[in-house]
Amino acid sequence: MAERNQKINPEFFQSDRNLRFRLFKDKLMFYVTGLCLLLILVPIFGILFEVFINGIIGFTPDVFTKAGGSPLDPNTGLLHAMMGTFYVSVIASFFGIPLGIITGIYLEYYGKGFFSNILRVGIDSMVAIPTIITGIVVFALIVLSMGSFSVLAGGIALAFIMIPIIAKTTEEMIRLVPQLYDEAGYALGLSESQTAFSIVIPLASRGIASGVLLAFARIIGETAPLLFTAFFSQSVPNNILDVSATLTVLIYQYGISPFEAWNRLAWVAALLLMLMNLGVIFITRVIFSENGVRPWTRIAEIIKIAFGGVIGEESAKEE
Amino acid sequence: MVFEDSEPDLKVTSPFAGVVINDYIFKIGVSLIGVGLPLVMLYLYLNTLINSSMNSITTFGIGGILNTDWSVIQGKFGLITFIYGTLVTSAIAILIALPLSVLASVFIYEFVPPEFKSSLRSIIDVLAGIPSVIYGLWGIFILIPFLNSTLYRFINSLSGSEAITVGYNMFTAGLVLAIMIIPILVNIIMEGFDTVPKTLREALTGLGATRWEVSKTVTIGTTKATIFTAVMLGLGRALGETMAVTMVIGNSNVFPNPFYNLFVPGQTISSLIANEFGEASGLQYSILFEAALVLFVVTTFFNIIGIIVLRKLKGATK
Amino acid sequence: MSEIKIDSSVFSEKKSSNKGNIKLQVEDLKAFYGKKEVLHGISADFVENEITAIIGPSGCGKSTFIRTINRLHELTRGAKIEGKIVLDGYDIYDPSANPVLVRRKIGMVFQKPNPFPNMSIYNNVVAGLKLQGHSNGTELDEIVNTTLEKVGLLEEVEEDLHRKKGTDLSGGQQQRLCIARAIAVRPDIILMDEPTASLDPSSTLIIEDLMKDLSKDFTVIAVTHNMQQAARVSDKTMFLFNGDLIEFGATRKLFEKPDNHLTEQYITGRFG
């Protein structure tokens, strides 16, 4: 018996030609798919690497204290652009966060029936609108009527982008709260609004907060909607009606300019922007990770909506 | 609870009435914003786009824009060059990004150990958030010099002529777009892979399939609709992208000659708007809105196809 | 075996003379998940053209045991085995043995019917054959017909072979389709992991009849949670408990006069 086990039947174990080819293909595809992963990771990490290196090389303390100026002036900084980004994102959040959340609550609580589905398609398509279009529409609406570029116009353009994203993510995140909590609220004799505000929305708050944070990360990285709204300038804005540079527009303007000093500052701005932007995403992911207290926060889902313009997904409410 | 304060003022006597009024106020308030705001926003978008482009629509009609002549001075505003540029750069992006994303996802799914898998996926997720203007900056200072000294030099030496004279061209733009949409594609495709039942994989393995055959037939085979959706949405993103394209495409308003030469500077609708809107007035201003309207229709078209497929898919899996 | 015989008569011709041959030997088989040993040295011989039922309480290692037989076990992360499994005299865990070929000789039917949702009924049946490079249409048609005939599905789906997906069928039909898919590649052994667990009683009876029928051509090893089923269909029964083989023998004997008191307790329903 022991001897029998040792012998190798060539017919049985050795592969026929077809199988040898299949196994070769199997092995080959291991390397091919691995190479593909490498090919997608190299540029992505290359970008991170280059931004860090070039950003650090160009960094001086002046960056935080000085506004812009002539490309020949060595003592210029990014203060004006940082203030501009601060203004536009605060204005956008001021309008965008509450309005977006309320719209999301509406969609989840009353958004049933034909009309609401039309509304939902409308919001979906606004999530996916090319942001340059938002920029020129707000230009026509605000800049033309007010007679000048302003950070207010920039902020409103960004709010236009923020609202549909927050509405979608809020709706999704409330929906993820299991039905049984609604029922628990009703069973306690709470009304619909009480159940909503004291039970369901607090349970969804992590998810909603993640949606808000990621929408914020998305808008601070936006350039196109600011090109013709907040526009560009070399001085620090004094109030919300001032025209101003922002980090993103500055990266664009300085990046395409022929001046080396400006190119250098563009990289520094890129580093600052990326630290803020990826920082917010990263923190959101860590604080509100799926393994956290509330298992029904789906960061990956929100990232898709906020950065991919990925829409139309509806997860079923858990029973 | 916010509304509870108003209860006594309403002098409600029935023990049930207060609750009803709370809900009523809640419903009215939320509905006003929930219905009103999206409608107003949609109205503003459409009304502005259509009103502002009315001037050029009535002046040129359809024929006036369906040509390749663009000259602000001569008042010629053909949009074909830019529509072509938009479609071509997006097509290049998808053709590069799709196979890479699918195959890389297969590798992550099959071969990356679980302890690295989730962190790798989070990193790719997070990187989906890199602002597009940074892709543009990287394109100008890193990618184009790199391509000039490698791929483009190679092609030039092959063809024995200086076929590619500038790194700022439509192919470069497509490549940057590809790199930009890959994280989102991987995200969607991986999520599709997650839904493939383990038992299907085992069934094919049990029939004597190799690992790659299982990946091809089951993992990819059963998620084709998801992959299609990813393409549609990636396309939606690529078509509308402004900054990453504007910074590397070379911004030429001339139709490429011959049309299949993708290694020449070009222009997309978004990059046209970004470049010309600042100084535009009169008819030029109006035609840029018309171009935006065209872009809006095209991207919405692809997105709606994506949504429909996704909905169908979700319905089918339930 | 380098090629699958394309012969519609194979199902009935094969070897009633082989009855009594030992087809598969399991020698001191230990299975692990990481460091945890879930099977503690199991040895058993399986006789050609017999049905062996594996019974035992949940978590006793039944599924792990049959998943080691076609080397599916090792695909789970951290899972490994020690010991030997010998098919027709050849160790399937021999370093030179290729799991792909092993699985071609040892088919499997799963607990839940799992036809490929992206394939028609026809393509589900020939999925394994196509992988092996069979592309001759008439031959494949032939195989589809005989195989579906064999599982009693032909009449029910003849019209819809290409039109319907495997997943469009009812649960019982799906499971018969999965059996057809497994036998279409002409394995020597068919493993079944609780094949009727998710089916209604009438579909269960059909599958049980089919199992008996299959044993004319194949060696069948089936895990079942249902002792009546084991008693109804199997020639031999194997009782596993906590990863140990407690008793293995002729079904009738095991159910009527078990040697081990644990077996007796289990089959009389005192635990499990």
Write out the two tokens for A180.
């049984």
> What's phi and psi for C52, nearest 5 deg?
-110, 130
Angle at A26 between CA A22 and CA A31, to 5 degrees: 145
Our CA-based measurement puts residue B104 at a distance from the nearest CA of chain A, in whole angstroms, of 4
State the Cα–Cα distance between residues A112 and A107, nearest whole angstrom.
Answer: 8
Domain annotation covers residue C125:
yes
Which residue in B has a C-alpha nearest to residue C118's C-alpha?
B222
Reported in sequence order, the residue ranges of chain B that DSSP labels E, i.e. its strands, are: 70-71, 76-77
Q: How confident is the model at residue A309 (pLDDT cuts 50, 70, 90)?
A: low
pLDDT tens digits for range A155-203 = 999 999 999 999 999 998 888 887 767 777 676 666 677 778 777 888 8
Q: Is the same domain home to A228 and A195? A: yes
Q: Using the beta-carbon criterion (under 8 Å), do C114 and B203 form an inter-chain contact?
A: yes
CB atoms within 10 A of CB B18: 18
Between B199, B217, B224, which is nearest C110 by CB?
A: B199
Our CA-based measurement puts residue A111 at a distance from the nearest CA of chain B, in whole angstroms, of 9
| Ranges for all domains in chain B classified under CATH 1.10.3720.10 | 70-317
Q: Using the beta-carbon criterion (under 8 Å), do B204 and C116 form an inter-chain contact?
A: yes
pLDDT tens digits for range B178-219 = 999 999 899 889 988 988 988 899 999 888 888 999 999 999
Which residue segment(s) compose the domain that C174 sits in? 21-267
Domain annotation covers residue C103:
yes
Write out the two tokens for A157.
């353009």
Our CA-based measurement puts residue B95 at a distance from the nearest CA of chain C, in whole angstroms, of 24
Strands C219-223 and C189-193: parallel
Q: Using the beta-carbon criterion (under 8 Å), do C91 and A5 form an inter-chain contact?
A: yes
Write out the two tokens for A9.
């039947």
Q: Using the beta-carbon criterion (under 8 Å), do B133 and A221 form an inter-chain contact?
A: yes
Q: How confident is the model at residue C189 (pLDDT cuts 50, 70, 90)?
A: very high
Domain annotation covers residue A27:
yes
Between C107, C112, C181, which is nearest B199 by CB?
A: C112
How many domains is chain A partitioned into structurally?
A: 2
Q: Using the beta-carbon criterion (under 8 Å), do A103 and B273 form an inter-chain contact?
A: no
Q: Using the beta-carbon criterion (under 8 Å), do B292 and A132 form an inter-chain contact?
A: yes
**Mutation site, C75, C120, C175, interface B, largest B CB count within 10 A:** C75
Which residue segment(s) compose the domain that A39 sits in? 13-58
Domain annotation covers residue A4:
no
Q: What is the pLDDT of residue A185?
A: 67
Domain annotation covers residue A185:
yes
Of C140, C148, C104, the C-alpha closest to C2 is C104
Q: What is the mean pLDDT of chain A?
A: 84
Put simply, whether A139 touches B (Cβ < 8 Å) is yes
Q: Tokens 């010991």 appear where?
A: C83
Chain A residues with CB under 8 Å of C2 CB are 11, 16
Put simply, whether C3 touches A (Cβ < 8 Å) is yes
Q: What is the pLDDT of residue A286?
A: 74
Q: Is the same domain home to A93 and A149? A: yes
Q: Is the same domain home to A49 and A181? A: no
Q: How confident is the model at residue A224 (pLDDT cuts 50, 70, 90)?
A: very high
Between A37, A163, A308, which is nearest B107 by CB?
A: A37
Cβ-in-10-Å burial (0-12, 13-18, 19+) of A25 comes to middle
Put simply, whether A85 touches B (Cβ < 8 Å) is no
Cβ atoms C64, C145 nearer than 8 A: no
Q: Is the same domain home to A36 and A181? A: no
Which residue in C has a C-alpha nearest to residue B224's C-alpha?
C118
**Mutation site, C118, C119, C123, C188, interface B, largest B CB count within 10 A:** C118
pLDDT tens digits for range C91-119 = 888 888 878 788 888 888 988 888 888 88
A30-39, B2-11, B44-53, B113-122: segment of lowest average pLDDT: B2-11
Domain annotation covers residue C2:
no
**Mutation site, A12, A18, A21, A24, interface C, largest C CB count within 10 A:** A12
Q: ipTM beyond 0.90? A: no
State the Cα–Cα distance between residues B135 and B247, nearest whole angstrom.
Answer: 9
Region C45-69: what's the mean pLDDT? 91
Q: What is the pLDDT of residue A88?
A: 96
Chain A residues with CB under 8 Å of C3 CB are 16
Between C75, C104, C110, which is nearest B208 by CB?
A: C104
Q: Using the beta-carbon criterion (under 8 Å), do A5 and C90 form an inter-chain contact?
A: yes
Q: Using the beta-carbon criterion (under 8 Å), do C132 and B208 form an inter-chain contact?
A: yes
Asked whether the bond before A295 is cis by omega within 30 degrees of 0, the reply is: no
Beta-carbon contacts of C125 under 8 Å, excluding residues fewer than 6 positions away, are C143, C144, C147, C148, C177, C180, C181, C184
Helix (H, G, I), strand (E, B), or coil: what is residue B118? helix
Chains that touch A (3 or more CB pairs under 8 A): B, C
Put simply, whether B82 touches A (Cβ < 8 Å) is no
Q: Is the same domain home to A41 and A104? A: no
State the Cα–Cα distance between residues C50 and C47, nearest whole angstrom.
Answer: 6
Our CA-based measurement puts residue B108 at a distance from the nearest CA of chain A, in whole angstroms, of 8
- Domain B70-317 maps to which CATH number in 1.10.3720.10, 3.20.20.70, 3.30.360.10, 3.30.56.10? 1.10.3720.10
Q: Using the beta-carbon criterion (under 8 Å), do A22 and C131 form an inter-chain contact?
A: yes
Tell whether the model's pLDDT for residue B318 goes beyond 60. no
A56-65, A105-114, B10-19, B288-297: segment of lowest average pLDDT: B10-19
Tell whether the model's pLDDT for residue C78 goes beyond 90. no
Our CA-based measurement puts residue C116 at a distance from the nearest CA of chain B, in whole angstroms, of 7
Length of chain B: 318
Cβ-in-10-Å burial (0-12, 13-18, 19+) of C225 comes to middle
3-state per-residue secondary structure call for B217-271: HHHHHHHHHHHHHHHHHHHHHHHHCCHHHHCCCCCCCCCCCCCCCCCCCCCCHHH
Domain annotation covers residue C158:
yes
Please name the amino acid found at residue B303: N
Tell whether the model's pLDDT for residue A315 goes beyond 50. no
Domain annotation covers residue C15:
no
Q: Using the beta-carbon criterion (under 8 Å), do C114 and B200 form an inter-chain contact?
A: yes
CATH of the domain at C38: 3.40.50.300
Domain annotation covers residue C87:
yes
Please name the amino acid found at residue B45: Y
**Mutation site, B205, B207, B212, interface C, largest C CB count within 10 A:** B207
Tell whether the model's pLDDT for residue C11 goes beyond 90. no
Q: Is the same domain home to A51 and A68? A: no
pLDDT tens digits for range B1-55 = 444 444 445 444 444 444 456 677 888 888 899 999 999 999 999 999 999 999 9
Our CA-based measurement puts residue B262 at a distance from the nearest CA of chain A, in whole angstroms, of 22
How many domains is chain C partitioned into structurally?
A: 1
* Residue C42 Rama label (left phi>0; alpha psi -120 to 50; beta): beta
- DSSP character for C73? G
Angle at C22 between CA C21 and CA C24, to 5 degrees: 145
Our CA-based measurement puts residue B233 at a distance from the nearest CA of chain A, in whole angstroms, of 6
CA B166 to chain centre: 26
Beta-carbon contacts of A299 under 8 Å, excluding residues fewer than 6 positions away, are A210, A214, A284, A285, A288, A289, A290, B125
Domain annotation covers residue A317:
no
Beta-carbon contacts of B213 under 8 Å, excluding residues fewer than 6 positions away, are A22, A26, B204, C131
Q: Using the beta-carbon criterion (under 8 Å), do C132 and A18 form an inter-chain contact?
A: yes
State the Cα–Cα distance between residues B131 and A221, nearest whole angstrom.
Answer: 5
Chain A residues with CB under 8 Å of C84 CB are 5
Most confident of A131-140, B112-121, C172-181: A131-140
Looking only at Cα atoms, what is the longest distance across chain A?
97
Q: Using the beta-carbon criterion (under 8 Å), do C96 and A16 form an inter-chain contact?
A: no
Region B107-133: what's the mean pLDDT? 87
Put simply, whether B277 touches A (Cβ < 8 Å) is yes
pLDDT tens digits for range A268-296 = 999 999 999 888 888 887 777 654 444 45
Element (H, E) at C37: strand C36-47
Which residue in C has a C-alpha nearest to residue B214's C-alpha?
C131
Interface of A with B in 245-274 (CB under 8 A): 248, 251-252, 255-256, 263, 266-267, 270, 273-274
Q: Is the same domain home to A209 and A239? A: yes
Put simply, whether C101 touches A (Cβ < 8 Å) is yes
Strands C244-250 and C236-241: antiparallel
Put simply, whether C75 touches A (Cβ < 8 Å) is no
Across the beta sheet with C90-91, the strand order is C36-47, C22-33, C79-87, C90-91
**Mutation site, B130, B144, B182, B228, interface A, largest A CB count within 10 A:** B130
CATH of the domain at A144: 1.10.3720.10
Q: Is the same domain home to A22 and A119? A: no
Residue by residue, DSSP assigns A159-210 as HHHHHHHHHHHHHHHHHHS-HHHHHHHHHTT--HHHIIIIIIHHHHHHHHHH
Q: What is the pLDDT of residue A1?
A: 38
Between A12, A18, A23, which is nearest C1 by CB?
A: A12
Put simply, whether A167 touches B (Cβ < 8 Å) is yes
Tell whether the model's pLDDT for residue A319 goes beyond 60. no
